[in-house]
Structure 1
Amino acid sequence: MNNYAKLLLVSTFCAVGINAQTKDQTVKSIMDETYKNSKLEQLAYELIDGIGPRLVGSPKMQQAHDWAVKSFQNWGIDARNEKWGEWKSWERGTSTIEMVLPYPKSLEGMQLAFSPATGAKGLTADVVMLPNFASKEEFNRWLPSVKGKFVMVSQYQPSGRPEYNWKEFATTESFEKMKKESAEASENWRKSIQNTGETSRTLNSKLESAGAAGIVSSNWSRGFGVNKIFSAGTKKIPVVDISLEDYGQLYRMLQNGTTPKLKITANSKDHGKAPTFNTVAEIKGTEKPDEYIILSAHLDSWDGGTGATDNGTGTITMMEVARILKKHYPNPKRTIVVGLWGSEEQGLNGSRAYVSAHKDQMPKVQAVFNQDNGTGRIANISGQGFLNSYDYLGRWLNAAPKELTKDIKTTFPGFPGGGGSDHAPFVAAGVPAFMLGSLNWGYGNYTWHTQRDTYDKIVFDDVKNNVALIAILTYMASEDPERASNEQIKMPMDSKSGEPAKWPEVKEPTRLGGFD
């Protein structure tokens, strides 16, 4: 070996050593910052307690966008709000629901999103229960009887105990009997609604047109004390959701010949039409500024609770990742984008709008990391149908300390996600975009779209785990000398059509909403 070759070899070893040392130091810095100087609790307080629920189009949503921009700018990160549409702007106020007859009692509940207000004096009326219907004609004959009444529109639940509680304590015979009766009751209720010719989305409007004074629902989430809180679906009359316990009492009174009378006071403001935005922050790349890693989470929420786990945790995770990277990796090779989307809850509108507005970026995106399913630590990652995702995701994951990755289950190459969260619009556009799936922590029943989705449900140790992991993945994706392959799998046969399944299609967002 000549002297030149020896010198080249030594230089190569030195470069590799320096690169490995630099990588190890950056990973260590990320870990130290995550666990020794975390800002998660403060961010969570400011967003979730300080601002509160973030319904699309609402003043609270606009406040959250402005807060996020200011937070990024305070960390030295460029940020802006990108307008993509307009939405009905509704602001929640206080609401009270009282039973005044046969005796006075405060009921647990709240007005649904976009519910019309009652005025300061409220509304007082008798209660009637939606019966079972055998036909649309029977429903139409009954419909005039709702005039001036509060109509109960949800299935009666004889037990407020979740199935897991029954399974733990009931006899086998009692548990099986409960399941059988519950399934039969649900099927009978489903058929009855179907027989009206309406759906759960159109029924309230139909009752409003018939002169109902208001709507009372109880959308039980199959856990102790939790209900789903969605939209009112009316234009003039109030819609409230009350607890299973109180709803059941009203139902049993009616069944026993006693007609309860309620007083509902719902305060809210209709601000007309408001612009809707995405908050977009960028740490500019130094070597490949026109290639991108996108950190994705939706900023909006339903407003029964304060949107803590859907998706406050995803939002503060991505903001904290950006803060840490700006401090310890201020000159990334590729541009790091944080997208905090609006109106995910109404159909992925914000992320779809970003894909539409930044078509030129899509072929240059190295990866999208999306977080949107509760407070749990990341436990599963799918390759989303990208054929070679194992190669690059495997490299990036391997750089993280084993305590962050040891329990993660991966599925490669996986299958493309067609919806569900904000990675899907990017996947449809052919971008390697990955949902970072979290441990459950009772998410589906207890916090997802419920009135219990509040700050106290956050498990900060798990969220810190996610911050560290995503920061390391982002660092590795930025440093990777190779472009991540977006080659797609050959789609399997669709068993229903007998034709090959199709890759999800790019869809435009709904740019004007809430006025149906």
Structure 2
Amino acid sequence: MTRFMTLSFSVILLHFAMPVWAQPAAREKKYFKLLEKTFDEQQAYKTVWFVEQRWRLAGNSGFNESIYEVEKILQQAGYVKETNGEAAATLTYRIERRPMKHATWEPVDASLYIVGEKEPVLQFKTNRNMIAMYSASTPAEGITAELVYIGKGTAKELEGKDLSGKIVMAEGGIGGAYNNAIKNGALGALAYSMPKYNQPEKNIHSIQFQGIGYTDSLRQKWGILLSYAAKERLKTALAKGTVTVKVVVNTKIYTSEELTLVANVRGKKRPDERFVFSAHVQEPGANDNASGVGALAEMARTTALLVKKKKVVPQRTLTFLWGDEIVSTRRYIRDDSIRAKGIKWGLSLDMVGEDIQKTGGTFLIEKMPDPSAIWTRGNEKHSEWGGSPLSEAEMFPHYFNDLLLNRCLFEAANTGWVVRTNPFEGGSDHTPFLAAKIPGLLMWHFTDVYYHTDADRLEMVSPAEMKHVAKSALATAFLLATADDRTAVALIKELTRNALQRLQTEFELSKKAVQAGEDKAKEQHILEVWGNWYVKAVNAAIDIPAREAGKTVQQAIEKAKQQIQQQTTTYISQL
């Protein structure tokens, strides 16, 4: 999971009860029963175990070994390597290889000592995120030098200072501190920077991975990331006088190729229309995102088994994609304009295995942009990552939000699984779909106190949680890959009820706002926008059947639109 902004409020979202009208029809119930029996969460967990042991960055050995491990799973499930394109068989896969424009990197070993003290400050074997990405190696014997504290390490703080022959320590991001210190002659940089949601004063040995800029092998130096405990130990030593430290770093920087793994279950009637799943391989954590890789691999195996047994007969193609976050998904969409026209839905699996009792991370569906991303109120809340308010022009009206949510709620009603949502924020593999005007959703967990840290290991992953996510995701995909007119009508009715429920909720919120002195016209406009959003979402349902939609579907859409418009008008008039 790659995110770009932070806010301080927490996730307290509505835990929806499963209404009677949202229960799936016979076909969906069949899918859930099949998936309960067929999806093996222990196999998914085994894959997570394999992947999370490896420090993964696109092009490095850990990334590539993970791709090849999933390839083995696909081969054993009956997927055949493409020879003449996707049409060669029902179950196919390929590994796409591309030379990388920049070098890849991987850590090997490191240690940090205060000279004169026996116990190390940090060691790679217990702090696997301590080496800043793209750090070069030190000489084998390491580098020993005086440690100098440089505050946040900003250019202004270091202006005019000669750091030649020194190792610096900053309380700020490693990237800026490294650049500024190296320009002033430093041998290397230590830095501490941990977000509050990681609770560093409690998890004192956690380190979030970060990186430094890469120039070339001749000029590249190194950076070390500090835990809270390491930072405090060094500051305490500095307060007593001059401190000399020894740093040993061993890394690899080399040219490589980027791998993307794509598997397809070919649809029978409309093979060019497809539902695309994606799970990124890079990032070194277990939940982020070995859990996505493991869950998706088992989903692909499960789908192959059900298709071979003719328990599921997709009329549209199901695609499973593993690669570099955002990069591989965006390329999959952009590289083939004809293929892109057939992508109907995209679903990203990112951080899907959280043991919520250990990590604090709640399961979330990040919705496509709807009015809650403009007016975030009531039970709607952003995650601690937060999100900037969107404009009305950025809205993406579509039934996909509600359709996936209702499948998850069905799973929750039968298992006690907690299901929540958050307004759109961005930062994972769902964003390339949305940028291309393709419906795209994210299944994830947050707030996770171990997010991006070296404490995100296998023991933080729940096989049961992965199964909840996978069953809901696959049931949604199977439904859309096999939908007929009857299914479409049922889903339109379900969507209509969702819309009326949302309008009622927003009306109650607006009524309270007006009573509290808020502008009535503004509140009426919010209701109008919600109504229009759902009318357009219902309109989009014309493409649910895996064939030309019949008259009953068209009639259901028109009836739904009338109900939504009428209810919207009524609520606006009652404010």
For the criterion TM > 0.5, the same-fold answer is yes
Which residue of 2 is the match for residue 481 of structure 1?
484
Q: Structure 1 residues 293 and 318, CA, compared in 2 at 3 Å: closer, same or farther?
A: same
Q: Counterparts of 1:266 and 1:274 in 2: how far apart (Å)?
A: 21
C-alpha change, 1:133 and 1:47, in structure 2 (3 Å) is closer
Q: Percent identity?
A: 20
1:29 deviation in Å?
1.4
Report the secondary structure of 1:309's partner residue: coil
Cross-structure match for 1:260: 243
CA distance in 2, matches of 1:381, 1:131: 37
Q: Which residue of 2 aligns with 1:231?
A: 211
- Give a deviation string over 1:351-382, Cα, whole Å, max 9, x none: 22112113222332221111213523744352
Shift in CA distance, 32/99, structure 1 to aligned 2, threshold 3 Å: same
Q: Distance in 1 between matches of 2:472 and 2:279?
A: 15
Q: Aligned pair 1:113/2:130, yes or no?
A: no
Q: 2:438 corresponds to which residue? A: 431
Deviation at 1:252, TM superposition (A): 2.6
Distance of 2:221 and 2:277 partners within structure 1: 41
Matches of 1:152 and 1:339, distance apart in 2? 41
The one-letter amino acid of 1:26's match is: Y
Contact 1:116 1:237 in 2 (8 A): yes
Corresponding residue of 1:181: none
Name the residue aligned to 2:37.
Answer: 32
- Change in Cα spacing, 1:423 to 1:147, as seen in structure 2 (3 Å) is same
The Cα of 1:464 is off from its aligned counterpart by 1.4
Q: CA deviation at 1:95?
A: 0.9
CA distance in 1, matches of 2:405, 2:250: 53
Question: CA contact under 8 A between 2:131 and 2:223: conserved in structure 1?
Answer: yes
Match of 2:573 in 1: none
1:227–1:406 Cα change, 3 Å? closer
Distance 1:391 1:147, change over 3 A: closer
* Cα separation, partners in 2 of 1:341 and 1:134, compared to 1, 3 Å: closer
Report the alpha carbon displacement of residue 45 of structure 1 after superposing the two structures with TM: 2.0
Query: For residue 185 of structure 2, what is the aligned residue in structure 1?
Result: 211
RMSD: 3.0
Residues 374/408 of structure 1: CA separation in 2 closer, same or farther (3 Å cut)? closer
Q: Give the structure 2 partner of residue 453 of structure 1.
A: 456
Q: How far off is 1:106 after superposition?
A: 0.8
Q: Residue type of the partner of 1:210? A: N
Q: Determine helix, strand or coil for the equivalent of 1:106.
A: coil
Distance 1:132 1:58, change over 3 A: closer
State the TM-score, normalized to the length of structure 2: 0.64
The Cα shift of 1:260 comes to 1.3
Distance 2:171 2:318 in 1: 46
Match of 2:175 among 184, 192, 201: 201
Q: What is the CA deviation profile of residues 420-467 of structure 1, one whole-angstrom value per residue up to 9, with x for unaligned ones?
A: 1110010111111111243x3x51x31x22111211111221111111
1:72 to 74, 78, 95: 74
Deviation, 1:393, is 4.3
* AA in 1 matched with 2:330: R
The CA deviation string for residues 179-226 of structure 1, in whole angstroms up to 9 with x for no partner, is xxxxxxxxxxxxxxxxxxxx8634312321322121111223433122
Query: 1:85·1:277 contact (CA, 8 Å) conserved in 2?
Result: no
Query: What is the CA–CA distance in structure 1 between the aligned matches of 2:30 and 2:43, rounded to whole Å?
Result: 21
Distance 2:402 2:42 in 1: 31
CA distance in 2, matches of 1:392, 1:204: 47
Supply the AA of the counterpart residue of 1:353.
Answer: R
Letter matched to residue 250 of structure 2: N
CA separation in 1, counterparts of 2:131 and 2:76? 37
**Which residue number corresponds to residue 45 of structure 2?**
41
Correspondences of 1:297-336 after superposition (within 5 Å): 297-301=279-283, 306-330=284-308, 331-336=313-318
| Equivalent residues, number | 401
Q: Which of 22-31 and 363-372 deviates more?
A: 22-31
Q: Using the alignment, how far apart are the partners of 1:243 and 1:397 within structure 2?
A: 37
Match of 1:92 among 107, 122, 125: 107
Deviation at 1:38, TM superposition (A): 4.2
TM-score calculated relative to the size of structure 1? 0.71
Tell me: CA distance 1:125–1:362, structure 2 relative to 1, closer, same or farther (3 Å).
same
| Residues 107 and 242 in structure 1, CA contact (< 8 A), matched pair in contact too | no
1:468 aligns with 2:485: no
Question: 2:343 — aligned with what?
Answer: 365
1:13 match: none
CA 1:286–1:206 in 2, change beyond 3 Å: closer, same or farther? Answer: same
Taking the aligned partners of 1:201 and 1:27, their CA distance within structure 2 comes to 47
CA separation of 1:374/1:212 partners in 2, compared to 1, >3 Å: closer, same or farther?
A: farther
- Please state how far the C-alpha of 1:396 moved relative to its aligned partner: 5.3
Aligned AA (2:33): K
What is the letter of the counterpart of residue 367 of structure 2? S
Which of residues 408, 412, 416 is equivalent to 2:419? 408
For 1:350, the equivalent position in structure 2 comes to: 328
Residue 404 to residue 338, structure 1, CA distance change in 2 (3 Å): farther
Q: Secondary structure, in 3 states, of the residue corresponding to 1:105?
A: coil
Q: Structure 1 residues 93 and 394 mapped into 2: Cα distance closer, same or farther (>3 Å)? A: closer
CA contact (8 A) 1:315 1:340 kept: yes
Q: 1:328 to 1:251 in 2, by over 3 A?
A: same
Q: Who is 1:340 aligned against?
A: 322
Residues 1:233 and 1:124: Cα distance change in structure 2 (over 3 Å): same
In the TM superposition, residue 42 of structure 1 has moved relative to its aligned partner by 1.8
Aligned 8 A contact 1:89 1:270 in 2: yes
Q: Which residue of 2 aligns with 1:82?
A: 96
Residue 401 of structure 2 corresponds to residue 387 of structure 1: no
Give the counterpart letter for 1:28 in structure 2. K
